[in-house]
Amino acid sequence: MKIAVVGTGYVGLVTGTCFAETGNDVTCVDIDKSKVEKLSNGQITIYEPGLEKLFLRNLKEERLRFTTSLEEGIKDAAIIFLALPTPPGEDGSADLKYILGVADHLGKILKDYKVIVDKSTVPVGTAEKVHAAVSKNYKGEFDVVSNPEFLREGVAVEDFMKPDRVVIGASSERAKKVMSELYNPFVRSGNPIINMDVRSAELSKYAANSFLATKISFMNEIAQLCERLGADVDMVRRGIGSDERIGKRFLFPGIGYGGSCFPKDVQALVKSSKEVSYDFQILNAVMDVNERQKLHLMPKIKKYFKDDLKGKKFALWGLAFKPNTDDIREAPALYMIDELTAAGATLSVFDPEAMPNVKGVIGDKVEYAENQYDCLEGADALIIATEWNEFRTPNFLKMVTALKNKVIFDGRNLFEGSAVKELGFYYESVGRAVAVPGQK
Ligand SMILES: NC(=O)C1=CN([C@@H]2O[C@H](COP(=O)(O)OP(=O)(O)OC[C@H]3O[C@@H](n4cnc5c(N)ncnc54)[C@H](O)[C@@H]3O)[C@@H](O)[C@H]2O)C=CC1
Ligand SMILES: O=C(O)[C@H]1O[C@H](OP(=O)(O)OP(=O)(O)OC[C@H]2O[C@@H](n3ccc(=O)[nH]c3=O)[C@H](O)[C@@H]2O)[C@H](O)[C@@H](O)[C@@H]1O
C-alpha cells in the first residue's frame, strides 16, 4: 500500500519505518529541510534502539523516502498519516495549529479519495476540525480517522511492531477496511484491532496516558507515606502488583514522570474537561504530586549538607527523562540542575545519550563528564536521576575512590540499601529507609 507520513519526528519516523518494514511504500514529509536531507542520506535523527537497522534497510530497498513537499509525498498515497506536534498552548490545551495547517494545505492539493489519519495525540473533536479544514477547498470524497499511537520511547519499534492493541476510530466502512488491511500484519499475534467511533478513539489516548500518570503519582504518594511510616515501597509495590487487577507495571516511584507526553497530555485532558464544565479532580492532584516529586531529593540533600550547598560539587548520573532515549523534554534531572545551581552548587553530569541535547539547552552551566566514573571525581555526593542499566551494577570500588564523600541520593531506587551501606555509603532513595553506615 502507498502511504504518506506527514511529520518525521519521533512518531512519524517510527511509523514510516515500521510500515515500510511490512512491505508498504512509504513517503515521509517534513518541513525541516535539514532533517529530510539527513534522513535521505541515511543519517537517523533520533536515538531509538533497533530503529536504525530497519530504517537503513528500507531506505536502501527504496520502500522509504523523504521529502519536504507535501504534494509530492501524498501524490499516490491511499493513506495520509498526520504525525505532527500537538504542544501545549498557553492555556494548557493542545495546540492544533500544525494539524489544522496541514489539513488546510491538503484541502488545496487533494485530487482523489484518501484516508487522512490523526496519529498525533489530539483532543476529542479534532477529526471533525480536520474534516472541516480539508472541506473548505476540497469537495471530493475523503475520510478522517483517529488512530492514536501508544508506543513508548526506548522500546518504540517493539511497541509498534507488536502492539497490545490498535485503536481505530473511523466513521465509514471504506476507511475501516483500508485501515484493517494496513494493520493486519501487526495484529496476527492475537492482539486486537479495536474499532470504535472517532470521539472514543481520540479520548482513549488521553485516558491511557492520564491513567498511567495517575498510577505513578499514586505510587509516589505511597512512597512519601512509606518514608514517614517506616515501610518499604519496594515491598508495598510487590505486595499490590501481584494482584492482576492492579498489575506489576508502572508502579515504580521516583522523582516524577517527565517526557514529551504525560505532562502535556494530562494537562490537556484537564483543559478539555474544563471546556465541558467538568473539574477532573484526580488529574489536578496527579499533576500537583508530580511537581512536588520532581524535587523530592532536594530536602534530603539540604538536610544532609545542613542547608549549605554553596561551593558543594555534585555528580549527577542520568539526564534523559527515562533510560534508552536521548529525549530530555520535561526531564526531572533538569529541575534538579536548576535547584542545585540556584543554591550555589556546581555539577558534573553524565548520561550515555542525552548530553548533547542538554548542552544544547543549558550550555556550560554544568560540566559534562566522559564517563560515569570521571563524573564522580571530587564530588561531595552522587545524585541519580535516570535508571540507565549501566548505573545499576557499577564498580563500587571505583566509585569509592573517585567520590570525595561516600554519599548517594538515588531518585530511581537502583540499589539495595543494605548492600551500599555495607560498602560504607550513606544512601537515600525514594520511599525506603535511609541506609547509614555503622547503624543497624
Ligand atoms: N514521542 C512519543 O513517544 C509519542 C508521541 N505521540 C504524539 O505524536 C505527535 C508527534 O509527536 P513527536 O513525534 O514526538 O513530535 P516531534 O516534535 O518529534 O516531531 C514532529 C515533526 O513534525 C514536523 N513538522 C512540523 N510542522 C510540519 C508541517 N507543517 N509539515 C510537515 N512536518 C511538520 C517537525 O519538523 C517534526 O519533525 C504528538 O501529538 C505526540 O503527543 C504519541 C505517542 C508517542
Ligand atoms: O503518548 C506518548 O507519547 C507515550 O507516553 C508514554 O511513553 P513515554 O513518555 O515514552 O515513557 P514512559 O515509559 O511511559 O515513561 C514516562 C515517564 O514516567 C516515568 N515512570 C514510568 C513508570 C513508572 O513506574 N514510574 C515512573 O516514574 C518515567 O521515568 C518517565 O519519566 C506512554 O507509556 C506511551 O504509551 C505513550 O504512547
Looking at domain 205-293, its CATH class is mainly alpha
H-only helix segments in 312-373:
332-342, 355-362
- Over residues 345-358, the pLDDT tens digits come to 999 999 999 999 99
Residue 153 marked in a binding site = yes
* Long-range contact pairs involving 232-241 (C-beta distance under 8 Å, separation at least 24): 232/431, 232/432, 232/433, 233/413, 233/430, 233/431, 233/432, 234/413, 234/431, 234/432, 236/431
Distance 258 CA to ligand 2 centre (A): 7
pLDDT of residue 439: 82
Distance 237 CA to ligand 2 centre (A): 18
Ligand 1 binding pocket includes 324 (Cβ within 6 Å): no
Q: Give the mean model confidence (pLDDT) for residues 276-303.
A: 97
Residue nearest to atom 12 of ligand 1 (CA): 10
Ligand 2 binding pocket includes 365 (Cβ within 6 Å): no
Sheet holding 2-6, edge to edge: 64-67, 25-29, 2-6, 79-82, 115-118, 143-146, 166-169, 193-196
Q: Which three cell numbers stand for residue 401?
A: 575512590
pLDDT of residue 191: 78
Q: Which three cell numbers stand for residue 249?
A: 507495571
Residue nearest to atom 24 of ligand 1 (CA): 7
Residue nearest to atom 5 of ligand 2 (CA): 261
198 and 170 in contact (C-beta within 8 Å)?
yes
pLDDT-derived band at 330, boundaries 50, 70, 90? very high
- Over residues 108-157, the pLDDT tens digits come to 999 999 999 999 999 999 999 999 999 999 999 999 999 999 999 999 99
Res. 291: pLDDT tops 70 = yes
Q: Which residues on neighbouring strands pair with residue 96, listed in sequence order?
A: none
Residue 250 marked in a binding site = yes
Confidence check on the interface: ipTM exceeds 0.90, yes or no = yes
pTM of the predicted model over 0.90: yes
Residue nearest to atom 43 of ligand 1 (CA): 149
Ligand 2 binding pocket includes 251 (Cβ within 6 Å): yes
pLDDT of residue 187: 81
Backbone angle region of 252, left / alpha / beta, with phi > 0 → left and psi within -120 to 50 → alpha: beta
Looking at domain 2-196, its CATH class is alpha beta
Q: Which three cell numbers stand for residue 165?
A: 492493541
pLDDT of residue 189: 60
pLDDT of residue 186: 86
- Over residues 4-62, the pLDDT tens digits come to 999 999 999 999 999 999 999 999 999 999 999 999 999 999 989 999 999 999 999 99
- Over residues 331-378, the pLDDT tens digits come to 999 999 999 999 999 999 999 999 999 999 999 999 999 999 999 999
Domain 295-428 has CATH 3.40.50.150: no
Residue 401 marked in a binding site = no
d(CA 318, CA 290): 19
The dihedral sign for the CA sequence 277, 282, 288, 290: negative
Distance 262 CA to ligand 2 centre (A): 7
Ligand 1 binding pocket includes 151 (Cβ within 6 Å): yes
Q: Give the mean model confidence (pLDDT) for residues 224-245.
A: 97
d(CA 209, CA 266): 7
CA dist 243 → 238, 239, 249, 278 (Å)? 9, 8, 11, 32
Nearest to 130 by CA among 119, 116, 147: 116
Residue 329 marked in a binding site = yes
pLDDT-derived band at 81, boundaries 50, 70, 90? very high
Ligand 1 binding pocket includes 146 (Cβ within 6 Å): no
Distance 216 CA to ligand 2 centre (A): 9
- Number of separate helices (H) and strands (E) present in the chain: 18, 14
Res. 188: pLDDT tops 70 = no
**Rounded to 5 degrees, what are φ and ψ at 127?**
-55, -40
Test site for ligand 1: of 5, 14, 18, 30, most ligand atoms within 8 A of the Cβ:
30
Res. 190: pLDDT tops 80 = no
Range(s) of the chain covered by CATH 3.40.50.720: 2-196, 295-428
Enumerate residues 6+ apart whose C-beta is below 8 A from 418. 435
Backbone angle region of 363, left / alpha / beta, with phi > 0 → left and psi within -120 to 50 → alpha: left
Q: Which residues are the active-site residues? A: 261
Residue nearest to atom 5 of ligand 1 (CA): 11
CA dist 63 → 23, 51, 280 (Å)? 7, 15, 45
Residue 104 marked in a binding site = no
Of all residues in the chain, the percent with pLDDT exceeding 90 is: 94
d(CA 432, CA 265): 30
Ligand 1 binding pocket includes 10 (Cβ within 6 Å): yes
80: DSSP letter: E
Range(s) of the chain covered by CATH 1.10.1040.10: 205-293
Distance 212 CA to ligand 2 centre (A): 8
Atom of ligand 1 nearest to the CA of 9: 19
95 and 88 in contact (C-beta within 8 Å)?
yes
H-only helix segments in 136-170:
156-161
pLDDT of residue 319: 98
351 and 368 in contact (C-beta within 8 Å)?
no
Res. 64: pLDDT tops 80 = yes
